[in-house]
Amino acid sequence: MWRYLIRRLLWALVLFFAVTVVTYVIFFIIPANPAALVAGKSATQEDIQRAEKWLGLDQPVYVQYAKFVHRLLPVTVADNKPAFKTPSLGTSFATRQNVNTVVMRAAPVTASLVFGGAVLWMLVALPIGILSALRPRSLLDRAGMVFVLVGISAHPVWIGLILAYVVGYKLGLAPISGYCDLINPSTSCGGPIDWAWHMMLPWMTFAFLFSAQYVRMIRAQVMETLSEDYVRTARAKGAPESRVLFSHVLRNALLIVVTMLGMDIGLALGGAIFTETVYGLPGLGKVALESIYAFDLPIVQGIVVFGTLAIITFNLFVDLFYAMIDPRIRLN
Amino acid sequence: MALLEVKDLRTSFRTDDGVVTAVDGVSFSLEKGETLGIVGESGCGKSVTCLTIMGLNSKRNATSTGEALWKGEDLLTMKPGRLRDIRGNEIAMVFQDPMTSLNPVHSIGKQLIEAVMLHRDVSKKQARLRALELLKAVGIPRAERRIDDYPHQFSGGMRQRVMIAMSLINEPDLLIADEPTTALDVTTQAQILNLMNKLQEEFHTAIIIITHDLGVVAETADDVVVMYAAKVVEHGPVDSIFAVPRHPYTWGLLGSLPRLDADVERLVQIPGQPPSLLNPPRGCRFHPRCPYVMEACKSKEPPLDAIPSDPTHLQACLLDEDVKQREAQKLLSGTMVVS
């Protein structure tokens, strides 16, 4: 188990370097000069050069990358002795804000969206997926398949705009933009009720595509497991259908679903760009998008780092959870 | 009253290509403590017969008619709750593939305990003791330690032992074993068969053993049902059938066995393939593959009749009795011509 964990963490390190290097390289292939943007519209050549020096953009890419890694390390050498320090993601080109602060302000918004959305899509997908697997070709199954087709085909931005227009604007049932903090009632709104109230439409939009995908996946998994020999064994023992379903079918069928859930949540934490944009939520996706427009590499890189860590962490969770529920993995 | 009496059992499945009648008019009966062997090629309806008796066919596309009287109660029309009380309690089943028949995510102990607790009002502790007792009875070494192991930690033969332990744990009156040794290697096969015989003596269980191996039947069964293309072609006491088999299909099955006691040049093989049950041949279903085919076989379906000398030995072939006796003798002495 420990060897496995160490191997996973080493791989995570390799993955981390690969992703950040690629981000740096892509950024320097793009023919744009962040310094020119920072220096302003009427800047002279000298101003731009000064801005470049100030931002460290006059140095070669590898030096910049090394500095980035150095800032990120939790240890440093002070007075010839190693000392701990807080990892830093650097400072924004455009606004000179601390990137740590920017990411930490946007991350809870995205996390609210992703975790709430995940709960919603599982609440939708589990019953529909399981029931349609138990009754294939029934009315529910057919209706479910239509939902899947629509969910997979429709773009989240379109879904978001339609929901905002119909539910939010025409019916006035939910606010169509803005974010309220879950815990801290800072300015105009806050607290769990305002938070959930403002997140309602984003959750629905975000969960739509995923519920469709999960209905299809859960249905296929449950159907496949239902035809397993050990399910027949359970019935031959005289187990009632409810017991067959919960104790023998779902435990096996949901192994893959749990894996996918962990991976999807990890992935989405890097930013749910479409939903955040439609509803004006100041989450990681929206911040990343704005920073890309402004060629603000430190913020983009900060969000990439956060997203990578989220994916690595959740994949690790999935592996551990998997080992917990599947003895074949735990004992090998 | 017979323990189990199956009368004119028919099971059909609706498929995308049409209706397949997998069991077509099967009848047999079984007394307490007896063993019945059902033999035939893959797809002849042996397994479906037993799954129908157990009520384990998919309800969505399978329909059954006829009767399967269990101690006088019809299993086919029984309420699902009553059938569940009987399944795993009075009638238990062992399946063909031990590698896939146990749930991979539960320990074998848990699966055995579940079988007890579904039918007995006992504590978990008592159920566990019972599970241990059965694991020892089927010869699992160090059962106290292995009870908490998972199926993937057992070999195929050991898993089949666990399956047998699970089926016998409630001391059923009938054990249905669907090709219990097919997925196992030869030495393990013999061990499992010996184990089943031993346990039958101990528990006085009646057994239906489904197999395509006539050797297994000869060793274990009292009665034999030979099935071909969803129908019974020969049915009788094992001694009578092995002494003078009456149906050309049974000859084919017997002739294809390797023998030590006769000098046979080549094993007999039955030419061709079993027919599709979507559209079975008219007349005798075996006629396209039968070396003794007559004109009448192609249109007239032979009835399942008793032979003149023995009312318990039934067969469905239109050949004359003396031809059958002559050919059967040739087969048994090893001089049957290769067809």
ipTM reported for the complex, 2 dp? 0.89
Q: Nearest-CA neighbor of A198 among A279, A126, A278?
A: A279
Residue (of A166, A172, A192) closest to A181 by Cα position? A192
Report, as an integer, the average pLDDT of B39-49.
91
* DSSP track, B290-319: -TT--GGGGTSPPP-EEETTEEEEEE---S
* Cβ separation A238–B85 shorter than 8 A: yes
* Pairwise pLDDT comparison (A200 vs B259), residue with the higher score: A200
Residues A19 and A124 in one domain: no
Which residue has 């399967």 as its token pair?
B68
Name residues whose C-beta falls within 8 Å of residue A108's C-beta, 6 or more positions apart in sequence.
Answer: A181, A182
The answer to whether residue A142 is domain-embedded is yes
For the segment B202-230, the average pLDDT, to the nearest whole number, is: 91
Domain positions in chain B are 4-221, 245-332
Q: Which of A137, A233, A247, A331 would you mutate first to test chain B, the one with the most B CBs within 10 A?
A: A233
Task: Note whether A131 and A160 are same-domain residues.
Answer: yes
Instruction: Give A 81-140 residues with CB within 8 A of chain B.
Output: 136
Answer whether B104 sits within 8 Å of A238, measured CB to CB: no
A89 domain residue, yes or no? no
Please say whether the beta carbons of A34 and A57 come within 8 A. Answer: yes
> What's A242's domain CATH number?
1.10.3720.10
Strand pairing partners for B225? B38, B235
Reduced to 3 states, what is the DSSP secondary structure of residue A245?
Answer: helix
Q: Is B112 at the interface with chain A, CB within 8 A?
A: no
Place of tokens 């063993």: B35
- The 10 Å Cβ neighbour count of residue B230 is 27
CA distance B79 to A143: 31
CA distance A78 to A181: 39
A155 and A42 co-located in one domain: no
* Average pLDDT score over residue span A266-286: 88
Mean pLDDT of chain B: 90
* pLDDT over 70 percentage in chain A: 97
**Hey, are the CB atoms on B95 and A229 less than 8 Å from each other?**
yes
Q: Collapsing DSSP states into helix, strand and coil, what is residue B237?
A: strand
B residues 49-88 near A, CB within 8 Å?
Answer: 54, 56, 60, 84-88
Residues A258 and A194 in one domain: yes
Q: Which residues of B54-65 are buried (b: 16+ CB within 10 A; e: fewer)?
A: bbbbeeeebebe
Reported as a single tens digit per residue, the pLDDT across B15-34 is 999 999 999 999 999 999 99
Give domain status of residue A26, yes or no: yes
What's the whole-number mean pLDDT along residues B188-197?
A: 85
pLDDT in tens, B268-307: 778 888 899 999 999 999 999 999 999 999 999 999 999 9
| Distance from C-alpha of A225 to C-alpha of A209, rounded to nearest angstrom | 25
* Boundaries of domain holding A80: 2-84
- What is the reported pLDDT for A238? 94
Q: Are residues A197 and A302 in the same domain?
A: yes
Q: Which residues of A touch B85 (CB under 8 A)?
A: 238
**Does A29 lie at the interface with B, CB-CB under 8 angstroms?**
no
CA distance A48 to A242: 71
> d(Cα B58, Cα B328) in Å, to the nearest integer?
40
Contacts of A244 in chain B (CB under 8 A): none
Select the residue of A236, A325, A326 nearest B88 (Cβ to Cβ): A236
User: Is A52 inside any structural domain?
Assistant: yes
| Residue A306 resides in a domain | yes
* Beta-carbon contacts of residue B26 (< 8 Å; ≥ 6 apart): B6, B8, B9, B10, B45, B49, B66, B225, B227, B231, B232
Q: How many domains does chain A have?
A: 2
Is A229 in CB contact (< 8 Å) with chain B?
yes
Residues A154 and A302 in one domain: yes
Residue A264 has pLDDT above 50, yes or no: yes
**Which pair of structure tokens corresponds to residue A87?**
């990892």
CB contact under 8 Å between B87 and A325, yes or no, is no
Indicate whether A123 and A240 sit together in one domain: yes
**A325 chain-B contacts, CB cut-off 8 A:** 105
User: C-alpha distances in angstroms, B95 versus B6, B54, B216?
Assistant: 21, 12, 16
Residues ≥6 apart with Cβ < 8 Å to B162: B98, B102, B108, B111, B112, B135, B138, B140, B151, B154
Residues A168 and A259 grouped into a single domain: yes
Of B87, B100, B102, the CB nearest to A238: B87
Q: What residues 232-261 of chain A have any CB closer than 8 A to a CB of chain B?
A: 232-240, 247-248, 251-252
* Shortest CA distance from B167: residue in chain A: A237
The number of residues in chain B equals 339
* Structure tokens that stand for B112 in this block: 């055995």
Q: Which two tokens stand for residue B10?
A: 């028919």
Answer yes or no: do A237 and B102 touch at CB < 8 A.
no
**pLDDT tens digits, A58-85:** 888 888 888 888 888 887 777 777 778 8
What pLDDT shows up at residue A215?
A: 95
Neighbours of A226 (CB within 10 A): 18
Mean pLDDT of B306-331: 91
Choose one of A57, A84, A111: the last residue of a domain: A84
Q: What is the pTM of this model?
A: 0.84
Is domain B4-221 given the CATH code 1.10.3720.10 in the classification? no
Which residue in B103, B115, B119 is closest to A230 by CB distance? Answer: B103
Name the residue among B56, B100, B114 with its Cβ closest to that of A228.
B100
Q: Is B120 on the interface with A (CB under 8 A)?
A: no
Decide if A91 is inside a domain: no
Chain B residues within an 8 Å CB radius of A239: 84, 88, 114, 118
Terminal-residue alpha carbon distance, chain B:
44
A106 with A67, same domain: the answer is: no
List the Cα angle A290/A293/A299 in 5-degree steps: 55
Asked whether residue A315 falls in the same domain as residue A246, the answer is yes
Q: Supply φ then ψ for residue B306, to 5 degrees.
A: -75, 150
Asked if A157 and A264 sit in the same domain, the reply is yes
Residues A68 and A108 in one domain: no
Name the domain boundary from A51, A84, A117.
A84
Please determine, for residue A142, whether its predicted confidence score (pLDDT) is greater than 90: yes
- The residue out of A59, A84, A109 marking a domain boundary is A84
Contact criterion met (CB < 8 Å) for A238 and B95: no
